[in-house]
């Protein structure tokens, strides 16, 4: 694996994202919704830096099998009430944009006051939708990335940094 972003760089970026979110939200209550499972590490570090009234909820969205994108499955069973609330949707990665666009559409049906989005990484050149996340930690090249919550077949989530898988790393994990 090749390290793309170190653990220290990730923490500095989260500090900057949290400061930007605090400024933009101006202390208003915020409902933070994490897209499971990849964003859980990012969520944990981010919400600890948001010194404002907040609630946390999760949804599950899955579109990858190994390194291949498949059909999107979304489970909203654990979504808290978001009607008339300001929502921050937190996800691990933004590549084509289809997942974030679909999840925002589903959340919008619940009539929140606002929805903003934060992603840890954005893959440059992969976007297929007009949407861009409101907050982006890092822009990375179009490589398969793992670590800091992101996985390959449920492996590598525990790495404290982001790494690109090399062809020899892809196999039976």
Which are the catalytic amino acids? Answer: 95
CA distance 116 to 52: 16
In this structure, the number of other CB atoms found within 10 A of the CB of residue 34 comes to 27
Asked if the peptide bond before residue 37 counts as cis, ω within 30 degrees of 0, the response is yes
Distance between CA atoms of residues 85 and 112, nearest Å: 5
Sign of the four-CA dihedral 163, 164, 167, 170: positive
C-alpha to C-alpha distance for 51 and 167, rounded to whole angstroms: 42
CA-only gyration radius of the chain, Å: 16
Q: Which two tokens stand for residue 106?
A: 């589903």
């Amino acid at each position: 694996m090749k390290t793309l972003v170190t653990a220290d760089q990730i923490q500095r970026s989260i500090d900057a994202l949290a400061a930007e979110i605090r400024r933009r939200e101006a202390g208003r209550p915020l409902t933070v919704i994490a897209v499971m499972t990849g964003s859980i590490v990012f969520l944990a570090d981010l919400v600890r830096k948001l010194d404002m009234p907040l609630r946390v909820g999760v949804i599950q969205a899955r579109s990858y099998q190994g390194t291949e994108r498949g059909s999107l499955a979304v489970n909203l069973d654990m979504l808290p009430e978001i009607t008339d609330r300001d929502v921050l949707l937190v996800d691990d990665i933004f590549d084509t944009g289809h997942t974030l666009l679909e999840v925002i559409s589903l959340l919008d049906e619940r009539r929140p006051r606002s929805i903003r989005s934060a992603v840890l990484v954005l893959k440059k050149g992969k976007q297929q939708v007009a949407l861009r996340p409101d907050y982006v930690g890092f822009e990375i090249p179009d490589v398969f990335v793992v670590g800091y919550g992101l996985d390959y077949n449920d492996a590598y989530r525990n790495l404290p940094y982001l790494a690109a898988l090399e062809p020899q790393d892809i196999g039976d994990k």
